[in-house]
Amino acid sequence: MAKLENKQVIFKNFIDRAPQETDLELKVSDIGPRAPSGSGAFLVKNLYLSCDPYMRGRMRDFHGSYIPPFVPGQVVEGFGVSKVVHSDDPNFKPGDLVSGLTGWEEYSLIKKTERLRKIQLDDIPLSYHVGLLGMPGFTAYAGFYEVCSPSRGEHVFVSAASGAVGQLVGQLAKLHGCYVVGSAGSNQKVDLLKNKLGFDEAFNYKEEQDLNAALKRYFPQGIDIYFDNVGAEMLDAALLNMKIHGRIAVCGMVSQHSLSDPKGIHNLFNLVMMRIRMQGFLQSDYLHLYPRFLEHVIGYYRQGKIVYVEDVSEGLASAPAALAGLFSGKNVGKQVICVAHE
């Protein structure tokens, strides 16, 4: 049988800075139209791919992380939504829709199926399975409820609040009865936070000369919960504004453009004085909660209690620019690449 033409996004080489479009290249190869007999694998057509900040960590030559680096000269890997084309696995049949790790290419041969999830075509957009109902959404859910231990009436601060994770953290906090303030990097995103996502207040951190003063303005009584997506100066300022027994969930450090020369945090002694609990976490630590998460968040979505904002780039050729744009704040909402329409 004739082979299929397969456009691919290739990782060129390791970097030690924020990703740029030129760190990835497009290539055309071919792939067999069937999964090899006896392989237990299946061939998928990729529909949506997820651009996520954690991918930058996979672009450096470091093997001590929770996920291995990309391989130079090989296809980029990430979360996606795909359609099964041919299967040698009895649990998956042609036409099945799946979400999980796949290649940044038009077609992928999937051999590891442990973390794949079958999904149904229903009233929820397919792309939401790499965002709201995928890794970013579950990160928000696990981080807020399990790490932050919220109580009704508490004051919550979310950085990078219009991003894939932050926008859901803020909405979950509001549904929990909290007062919520978010920071973002443009006035357009601030408007989105206040007028579409339901945050009580929001500010553009780029317009603030003194982040400590900004947080004092929005939290005159102090912060109970800080959901940290950025690290650096914002984390330092939050440490000065936490209440006694405040909680900080450390989800990301997107401000650290060079992980080999990280910037230190200056106000850690406040952890002692204010008895603050600061904890890093990965959503994979809480996978036993995933069914409950789906039930809750799908319910909220169908009731119109939460919304989810995406920034969709059309076509695989747009992928390098979409990934690089995450680190300069170009995206508004969850960055997704549409490879093909179902």
At residue 169, what are phi and psi to the nearest 5 degrees?
-55, -50
Other Cβ atoms within 10 Å of 4 Cβ, number = 16
Other Cβ atoms within 10 Å of 89 Cβ, number = 17
Q: Are 97 and 126 in contact (CB under 8 A)?
A: yes
pLDDT at 144 over 70: yes
Mean pLDDT over 235-260 rounds to: 86
Mean pLDDT, the chain, integer: 94
84: left (phi over 0), alpha (psi -120 to 50) or beta: beta
Mean pLDDT over 279-289 rounds to: 95
Identity of the residue numbered 36: P
pLDDT of amino acid 257: 52
The distance from CA 126 to its chain's CA centroid, rounded to whole angstroms, is 16
pLDDT of amino acid 95: 96
Domains of the chain: 4-131+310-338 (3.90.180.10), 135-284 (3.40.50.720)
pLDDT tens track for 18-58: 899 999 999 999 999 998 888 889 999 999 999 999 999 99
Mean pLDDT over 185-198 rounds to: 97
Confidence at 259, pLDDT banded by 50, 70, 90: low
Q: Are 42 and 110 in contact (CB under 8 A)?
A: yes
Mean pLDDT over 203-213 rounds to: 97
Other Cβ atoms within 10 Å of 286 Cβ, number = 19
More confident residue, 63 or 244: 244
Q: Are 11 and 68 in contact (CB under 8 A)?
A: no
Euclidean distance between CA atoms 82 and 342, whole angstroms: 9
pLDDT of amino acid 161: 97
Edge-to-edge, what's the strand order for the sheet holding 223-228? Answer: 201-204, 179-184, 155-158, 223-228, 242-250, 277-280
Sign of the C-alpha dihedral computed for residues 181, 138, 254 and 338 taken in this order = negative
Identity of the residue numbered 81: V
Q: Write b or e for each residue in 110-122: b if 16 or more Cβ atoms lie within 10 A of its Cβ, otherwise e.
A: beeeeebeebeee
Mean pLDDT over 255-268 rounds to: 72
Q: Write b or e for each residue in 204-234: b if 16 or more Cβ atoms lie within 10 A of its Cβ, otherwise e.
A: bbeebeebbebbeebbeeebbbbbbbbbbeb
Sign of the C-alpha dihedral computed for residues 212, 218, 220 and 226 taken in this order = negative
Euclidean distance between CA atoms 212 and 200, whole angstroms: 19
pTM across the whole model: 0.94
pLDDT of amino acid 14: 96
Confidence at 256, pLDDT banded by 50, 70, 90: low
pLDDT tens track for 161-176: 999 999 999 999 999 9
Secondary structure E strands in 201-333: 201-204, 223-228, 242-250, 277-280, 310-314
Quote the percentage of the chain above a pLDDT of 70.
98
pLDDT of amino acid 260: 60
Burial class (CB in 10 A: 0-12, 13-18, 19+), 259: middle
Sign of the C-alpha dihedral computed for residues 114, 41, 99 and 323 taken in this order = positive
Euclidean distance between CA atoms 145 and 138, whole angstroms: 11
The structure tokens listed for 227 are: 């959901």
Euclidean distance between CA atoms 214 and 65, whole angstroms: 34
More confident residue, 1 or 25: 25
Other Cβ atoms within 10 Å of 147 Cβ, number = 22
At residue 222, what are phi and psi to the nearest 5 degrees?
100, 170
Residues 6+ apart with CB under 8 A from 21: 320, 321, 323, 324
Mean pLDDT over 132-156 rounds to: 97
Euclidean distance between CA atoms 154 and 148, whole angstroms: 11
